[in-house]
């Protein structure tokens, strides 16, 4: 069983290949709200749900909102820059071709002399040498060509800008109405960005998992407070590499994953996992090693972006990712050791028991998924099967390492009747065969969140 989950971004190359991609190993489809309109996304959600139902799959949907991507305004043609040139960022009234406007002009107030400003994915680097109330004067440090709407990064500046834009608020309301399972918040800087997103979703009657994309220097510095209020995180290595320097990304990736694992927060590693497969049917050796290292680091999921949105081989990319994951699992360091907290006592005991008797599976009856995440924290070798009465919980748990959501069973308060119902369904559906030994966890108050207090070893 594949334990690390595959997230695939839906786009022009893959919108008509949803069934093939689920069969190839996709657990979660990502909808990028930086592109397409609500009508297109609504159709995608409908198509994913219908296809998943036909395939009896618990495929989840992740809504990735745009966030405040800072860009320059329109340029008349191209601006060729050489080392030593001077350009300006202005709030308003550009006076020459070398005066550039910003999508968020108020940012100028928060940038200081001596700090750096990067353009076009970091390919053009400048330093602030002067500042007044309306503008920043920048000295160009390397040559390059700048065109309209290119991205801007301020890696050393503490920007006071909300991660939730007015567009994002509308997109969050749309996601809530259309039942997305997971929401990713872009350009998070502090816990307040996550809390604001959760409040908007709550106001719209929804409770998806909200994950923070760690892609700014401030997010790395505020990681602990962000993890505290998030339901998970994404290591968004693209902008992160621009902000902190690409040489620091591997170490930061490991630190984020390690911290998230300890706190039972699912973590997705993203960006350029198999980028060469946009145009090639085969990945590079370096890409395969990158995926394997993300698995070994402890990622709950790995994500494809361009590979499945505009790439020539979206299904092949998913199959490749799956094969690398399965091969790497052969040397995975199972049975992680942590200081055992009271809240994790049951989960730690399950992992220890699993190590001793090697059951066919761990059956976790759950309402909210809390116990499932606790067990997954210890990385047992046996697969974790989540059984719940909630389809929404099943789909969310598709993001968690080593977890396979099984069928939903209506609430049954009597534990013995619940186990018997499971036995019947397990044999009928072929999930297990008679005589298989499994570990079962449940609460004495069946169906009530946070009450798991029982461990049993049973035969199917």
From 58, 88, 213, 373, active-site residue: 213
Q: What is the CATH number of domain 342-459?
A: 3.40.1380.20
Predicted confidence (pLDDT) per residue in 144-161, tens digit: 999 999 999 999 898 889
Q: Residue 52: what pLDDT?
A: 97
φ/ψ (deg, to 5) at 151: -70, 155
Q: What is the pLDDT of residue 51?
A: 98
Whether the predicted pLDDT of 162 surpasses 60: yes
Q: pLDDT, tens digit, for every residue of 33-63?
A: 999 999 999 999 999 999 999 999 999 999 9
CA-based end-to-end distance of the chain: 20
**Identified catalytic residue from 51, 137, 271, 309:** 271
Mean pLDDT of the chain: 95
pLDDT exceeds 90 at position 23: yes
Topology given in CATH for the domain delimited by 79-153: M1 Pyruvate Kinase; Domain 3 (2.40.33)
Quick one: average pLDDT of 288-315? 98
Catalytic hit among 2, 49, 71, 381 = 71
What's the confidence (pLDDT) of residue 445? Answer: 58
Beta sheet of 86-90, edge-to-edge order: 99-100, 86-90, 135-140, 124-131, 116-119, 152-153
Which of 3, 30, 379, 396 is an active site residue? Answer: 30
In tens, the pLDDT along 225-281 reads 999 999 999 999 999 999 999 999 999 999 999 999 999 999 999 999 999 999 999
Percent of the chain with pLDDT over 70: 98
Predicted confidence at residue 450, as pLDDT, reads 60
Residue 30 catalytic?
yes
Q: Which CATH superfamily is domain 5-67+162-329 in?
A: Phosphoenolpyruvate-binding domains (3.20.20.60)
271 is catalytic: yes
Exposed/middle/buried for 30, CB within 10 Å: 0-12, 13-18, 19+? buried
Q: Spell out the domain ranges in the chain.
A: 5-67+162-329, 79-153, 342-459
Q: Is the pLDDT of residue 183 over 60?
A: yes
């Amino acid at each position: 069983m594949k334990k690390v989950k595959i997230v695939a971004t839906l786009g022009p190359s893959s919108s008509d290949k949803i069934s093939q991609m689920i069969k190839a190993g996709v657990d979660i489809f990502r909808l990028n709200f930086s592109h397409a309109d609500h009508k297109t996304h609504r159709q995608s959600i409908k198509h994913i749900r219908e296809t998943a139902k036909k395939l009896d799959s618990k495929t989840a949907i992740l809504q990735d909102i745009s966030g405040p991507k800072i860009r320059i305004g329109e340029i008349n043609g191209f601006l060729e820059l050489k080392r030593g040139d001077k350009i300006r960022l202005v709030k308003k009234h550009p006076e020459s071709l070398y005066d550039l406007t910003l999508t968020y002009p108020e940012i100028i107030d928060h940038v200081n002399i001596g700090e750096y400003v990067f353009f076009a994915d970091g390919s053009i680097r400048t330093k602030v040498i002067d500042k007044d109330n309306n503008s920043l004067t920048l000295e160009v440090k390397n040559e390059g060509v700048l065109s309209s709407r290119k991205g801007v990064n301020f890696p050393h500046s503490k920007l006071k800008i909300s991660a939730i834009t007015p567009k994002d608020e509308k997109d969050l309301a749309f996601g809530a109405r259309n039942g997305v399972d997971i929401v990713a918040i872009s350009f998070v800087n502090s816990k307040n960005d996550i809390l604001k997103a959760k409040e908007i979703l709550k106001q719209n009657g929804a409770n998806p998992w909200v994950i923070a994309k760690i892609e700014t220097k401030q997010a790395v510095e505020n990681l602990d407070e962000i993890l505290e209020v998030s339901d998970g995180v994404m290591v968004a290595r693209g902008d992160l590499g621009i902000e902190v320097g690409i040489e620091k990304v591997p170490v930061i990736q490991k630190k984020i994953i390690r911290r998230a694992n300890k706190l039972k927060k699912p973590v997705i590693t993203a960006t350029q996992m198999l980028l060469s497969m946009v145009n090639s049917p085969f990945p590079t050796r370096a890409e395969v090693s990158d995926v394997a290292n993300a698995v070994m680091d402890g990622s709950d999921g790995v994500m494809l972006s361009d590979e499945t949105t505009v790439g020539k081989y979206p299904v092949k990319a998913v199959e490749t990712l799956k094969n690398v994951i399965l091969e790497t699992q052969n040397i995975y360091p199972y049975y992680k050791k942590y200081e055992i907290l009271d809240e994790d006592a049951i989960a730690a005991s399950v992992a220890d028991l699993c190590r001793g008797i090697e059951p066919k599976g761990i059956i976790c009856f759950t309402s909210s998924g809390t116990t499932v995440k606790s067990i997954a924290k210890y990385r047992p070798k046996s697969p974790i099967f989540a059984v719940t009465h909630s389809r929404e919980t099943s789909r969310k748990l598709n993001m968690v390492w080593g977890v396979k959501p099984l069928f939903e069973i209506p609430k049954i308060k009597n534990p013995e009747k619940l186990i018997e119902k499971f036995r019947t369904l397990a044999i009928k559906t072929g999930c297990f065969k008679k005589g298989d030994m499994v570990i079962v966890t449940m609460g004495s108050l069946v169906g009530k969140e946070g009450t798991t207090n029982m461990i049993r070893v049973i035969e199917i």
